[in-house]
Structure 1
Amino acid sequence: MLIKLKELKDSNSNGASAIDIAQMLNLDRANVSKDLNKLATQEKVIKTKGKPTLFKINDGYNKNQTNNGESKEIKEHNVNDTSIMDIFLEKNPSLYVAVEQAKAAILYPPNGMNILLLGETGVGKSTFAGLIYRYAIEMKVKSKNSPFITFNCADYANNPQLLLGQIFGVKKGAYTGADLDKAGLIEKSDGGILFLDEVHRLPAEGQEMFFTFMDKGVYRRLGETDSERSASVLIITATTEDPNTTLLKTFTRRIPMVITIPALKDRGMEERFNLIKQFMIEESGRLGKSIKVSINSIKAFLSYNCENNVGQLKSDIQLACAKAYADYLSNRKDDIKINSVDLLSYIREGLYKEIEHRQLWNKLIDINKRYCIFDKNEEKIIFEENTTDENIYEMLDLRTRELKSRGIRGIELEEEMEKNIEDYFKKYMNKVYGKIDTTNLNNIVDKDIMEVIEDVIEFCEDQLKRKLDKKIYYGLAVHINNSIDRIRRNKKISNPKLNSIRKEYENEFEIALNAIKIIDRDIDIHMPIDEAGFITMFLIYDDQNIKVVRSDVKIIIIAHGVSTATSMADAVNSLLGSKYAIGINAPIEERPKNILEKVKEYIRENQIKTDILFLVDMGSLTTFGKEVESEFKIKTRTVPLACTLHAIEATRKAIIGYSLDEIYKETLEVNNLYDNNVLDYEPEESEEKKLAIITICTTGEGGAKTIKTLIEDSVKFDHNFIEIVPLNFIGKENIYDRIEKIKKAYDILCFVGPFELDLDYPQFMLDDIIEGNCIDNIQKLIDIEKTYVKMQETLENKLKNVDGKAVLKDVKRFSKTVSEALNIKITTNVLIGIALHMSCMIDRLLEGKNIDDFQGKDTYIKENLNLYRIIKSACTSLNTKYSIIISDEEICCLMNFFNPKVYLKNNPHK
């Protein structure tokens, strides 16, 4: 394609359109457009604005090449903040716990922790050890030139003396045949990492020698008695055996980080597909040609019983590729092509498994696809469609035969075919690809794009038979512009409520679908169907009060043991005074498949249609979420290694109405009570958040900035302490999502705007600001908050056993937790009282002192049982972090702060 562009360049310096190239190459215009845009992204061609869009060779492309052949784009990618471990985790999510443990071990001061890797044969322990080494270099824990020595203890297991000599080194004459002094692997690994595989083959004597080295960093070569040697080596060991029976306890105690690598059968279909893709691309690199693999072959590789895990999967793929290459060389096939009939019989059995991994097929394959093409030069998989003139009906006929051959009949067959038809037309409507440049309604939206947006808005108004409100006009323009820009930057547009929007607003959704076709046609861009859902929300806007839509997330606990999960759920429900958390037990002797069916049956019986957070302990239970998503088409998240504290936090957030992702992230953050491991998201900053006054307008940020100027001219405040944050209102519910994001960066003081929101914060109207009626009230809020901040200095001087700044932060979080659960807003004066009381209480408990009995304690708790349970559950994290026990007497004192009756009695002027 670049050659054809060069030919056109010689005759036309302005460039060529996608249609010109398509006609010259006799190819489909949409496919050509897609490839041209890809070349533009790689900076190999230049894409011009206007209609039609033109492409021409980028003469300066080679200048951007680095000396080693890497492009500027690739070089920049290499210096981003994503670590090699994070990249690995994207395609291997079941190894989340293992990766986090490995990170912690490498980064643990001063020299890292020794590691023991557990797992069946072939799970990839050696590969993971190598990944740990590369991560250590990336994080600059080890130097680039530091050694990484790998040694398999099984190679010398029949000669223990020789085995120990290999590891520790040998002094001349130490044993018969030891003719020379010889350095051992520890000496060669100095400053780096030594990986000992099959460490259970190390004799007891060797284990004892080894833990002496791990303790003191010193060792002797075999035969040395008069001197000691020292080395700084991080030890990674691996075994397929139970360490409790094959290794000395004195040895395993020196290895604090034990990491289990899950078996292939526990790693999920999508991960297995990623492995197949990786191995196929590696073989393509060795053979120097692309490899075609039939969809049935992919299904077989995904589902067959691969007893020896990743190692066997790789070997089986190499064998299949070798056979295909032999057929190609002997001219039996025109390409290197793998068909299911060519596979070994035990691999083909994977085709006949009953389990249908529909979710994966829907992501990867529509009913026209017959081959995956793997190429070392292509990161993405290329799909080859049938080249015959088969139409949709012939495709459906083939699909019907395929399903029937697998024993699928009746209603299940009808449902499957209906889904395939729906998928076909969904994908058929989105076959146009491309990108477009954008800049900035009046310096915000590019002129060419604005013309298209005006066509879209005119079309929508004509179909709706009404004019769009001016603020919707502007909001829709900015939104479409942002969507185009997002696609240009290869960012995904996803609308999780697409199906409900489509059903609830059928007419507007149909209009929106046609609107995105206008954009597709005029800008040559692939606008996904999800975007129609967003445009629909603009079209149905009205001026009714804007309400917060609370999420309904189900919390399901699954844990191994006869009553582990139900006991945890009962404890959580008792603390929170609810019956919200559900426990499903997984007896050790019961097969995971049966447990999964119990979970599915519970979802069916209770007709659950909302999001689910699964709290599980370990093993195959971590995969249940994906299975549920696949069958029920509902969104799930899974927290592994869950404890009661996780369950309390998740259930409490769910009762309040937090979204699934919010609950998931904040539940994971419970881990911060124990360590500082990096999670799979960014937690809140450790530094204190600034206060914020939020100004809101409906026509863009200009109005909000005007309000900001009015406040700055009327109120006295320190800009280092308080920030005024402008916020524009776009859409019907989106403002609450944006406010939730702002709350993560700021502590909100109040809102100022032209209308009232459904929020429990002080709110002031725009006309009051202009007339100066509420300036004193805002000033009072600021002054009280300044007093609250000064309290930190008081606590730091007063407390003996705990850091004042740290405990104040924890107490503020406690107050927020309780007020959210009670759905009340506590005044700043009361918050200050709570902070002083609780900070001193924690300090006192750490000193071993308790308060006197609370008079009438039992009666008070009984009369305020819900309040008692909420405060007791909120105290759980404090008990855990500070290793204290907050007694019922202390809880009753805290209840006084939050009890409205007591509060009003002590503050009658309120």
Structure 2
Amino acid sequence: MGRKKQIERLVQEYSMALDPEGYGMRAGLTTEEVAKAVGALRNNASRDLNALCKEGVLLKQKGKPVRFLHRETMLMKLGTDKISALRARTIENTKEREWYVHAKSLDSVLGSKNSLKKQVEMAKAAVMYPPQGLNTILIGPTGVGKTVFAEKMYDFALETGIIDPEGEFVAFNCADYASNQQLLLSQLFGYVKGAFTGADHDKPGVIDRADGGVLLLDEVHRLPHEGQEMLFYLLDKGVYRRLGESNMNRKAKVFMIAATTEKPEDYLLQTFLRRLPVEISIPPISQRTMGERLDIVRGFFQDESRKTGLPIQISKEVLQAFLAYPCPGNIGQLKGDIQLCCAKGYLDHRRRRTKNIQILMEDLPDNMIASLVSQDRGELEKAKGIFDTTLLVEPSQEISHLLSKYEQSLAKVYGRLDQYFKNRQFSSGISDTDEDAAEKIREVFLDFFSQLNYEGYSESDLQNIFATDLLQAVELSLGLAKEKFDLTNASEILFVLGVHLSFLRHANLRDEKLYPYLESIIFSVEELEKARFIISVLNQNLPEHVEEENIKLLAMMLKYVHKEKGTEDKSSVGLVLLAQGEHVADETLDQAAKHIGVHMGVAFCASEYANEKELLLELENAVRKANQGRGVLLLVDQAEFVIFAQIMTARTGILVKAVTGMGTGMVVEAMRRLLMIHQTLDQTVKELETMSWPLNEDIVYGVSGKERVLLIEAAGGLREGRKLCRWFNTLDILRASDVKAVAVRRIDTSMDLGFSPELILGVVSSRELKLKVPIISFEDIVYGSGLSKLQRLLDGEEAGTEMVGSLLFRDEVALVTLRRFLSFADPSKVFELLKYIADTVTRAFGIQLSEGTYLRFIIHCGCMIERLFKGNELPCNEVDEIIGRNQKLYEELKRAMVTVEDNYGLEVPDNELAYILELLETDIVAG
């Protein structure tokens, strides 16, 4: 029985025994009582109790300590009315107290109860002050932890709901660009095309990224007065302008934290300082108490222990040196010195294969040794009084507890198996067969695995328990095995295997005592193959070598470690590669599969399909095929293809998110992440976007000086919406208008964004919305009718009226379609050449092509150029007949086509011209 089930049964039995007449506020079990009763750590018991409350199984009673009762049992004993009163009393004042109970980020700052108590209280007040906090300035010398303190303020703001969960923490160091004021301001505020020499496109600034979150301006005293003045409007009214703009028409909601090492009044404008009403001074390490310094030192060693996954033993002399030596670089220097010591100790550990990392006096940096020689002996004596023994830090309390439990359980396994085989060997009354012995070994191991309570741990627990490199290696090996062998119990094995490998790493030995017993177990070839495969991947990704003696133990895990029936989670994130060119997606997927060792994902070629309807239908099938239960990652090689993610989400009900970029390295990295057992679609997208093509700068044009907005609502949140906005704002019909695309979270609740209703041109969304503004679907955009609606709205007409002829619109549709169908030729260059040919021919005959003929001409000729590149011209059996009835048109077209032939070094044959003549002749004759 899992720990969570044990806890539920314990509370249920307690509630059953409770006398209804004697029920009062002190009724119920506390977390401590539950933890003790089931033999669990308090934090594990607390996590399970809270989970059971969320599931509606238990009731939580307020007070100190919090107490728990079984809901169904109490309902039966007390009745509905009393239970309702109980629930009301239980949640009384929850909303008012919840932030205080859960918002602990600032309290975790070392010194929050001593030398930094005042600073922490001021920070809390600054964040909590309505409506969106008070802007703050942090003052202190280099290395005191101003950036960390600002990050804790950000975490506190997230916990208290002052800022949205999607709001980012953005740090900007003004000193990085201090030698060039214009560059500094352009990085901070962004700029518009033409703002200065070389500004050939619009570029967003740091403030754009910080919108909705926290902006840390480090070394703010290096910010020029002009920049300080530009920030007045942002801090006062939430508006700003980019370099090159004249109007303050951009809006941003930013909680600002400034940081400086100087006296603010000597460098900052008084008018700017007044807008930073909260001033918090962070003291240097020399002004922190010796006890706090010990906590800081211990914390840094704890971090290094967690990174390496090994205990670190620090001699008392080293510890006293870290407590006593003068540290001019403050906490930053202290951290660097500790990391250097740990690096030396880790190298020695690998050479000597010791159980842990040992830090001795010879590991201290030279600068520390030199400063200690000249240091006042009084500081060393004081340090000896604080700590006069060796310090041992573990990767985490949890792993220490688990390894201790694991070692104890192994001892029991030895004892039970030793006793069994002694009795079997020397007792004449026992006639067990080899099959009986094997069954006994299986029984002992099954009991051993179950004692580890592998069902009670979440993904975040595992990240806190295991060393990072070990967890990633185990996740990758099991993910690959899951894909290769259809492994169904990878999540459960992850925990047990993680504990076993941690034990081997800490003990630094081979557990040879187990293996003779395991020789009695017969495994199938497939079971042993799975185990060998996992161990080979582990050995490729871990610094230490996992010996082959572990193969049968791992095979045992693979065979017997399971959750309760029906609870296996086989879901994962699916992968689709969407490319324009032929075989690009297939070949990239194959190359990536060779690197990773497993073939996964679906390849899709857009140019294989004759029209959008067929393309979307087949892409929908590809998404459904790729779906593994946790959404689908769409890797695309064209910026405009990101829109397909929204259409697929709407069509299939499967969350699809797109990332631009399809090099082999990108696909390999995507596969590696998706193979990790607990990986989510959101995590993967965020990690890959740091590697993807720069959608946010190079293709953003002309979004400055706009008066109206087109709201983009994307499935998947603001991040997806912003990607789509970048593409929409490249379209000529928006670039030539007074409208820009703006991402919003959810349209129903977004009409208070600061835009007047008359400034909202329309909404692009996958949902059916009942609003008083025009709605355009993403699917309509792909088919072209959406762009038609958009053009009508820009022309001041109703979206449903007949389309008035618009050269700008038809050019937009032609160019967008060429981008979809051309793999080798540059769509923009092809379009300009073909547009010139169309204009030349129509002028010669004094007519204008209909919109349909014009679009067919551009697209057909574009595809013709692509075919001729590949040497695939179309045959035609009626060339002479078609040319004969269109002789003048043929001669004009032949002359105009010289432009294409000269630009691409091609010859356009008559059979290709015949098809173009057929396409044009109706309009020419009618004209």
Q: TM-score, normalised by structure 2?
A: 0.33
Structure whose alpha-carbon radius of gyration is higher: 2
Q: TM-score, normalised by structure 1?
A: 0.33
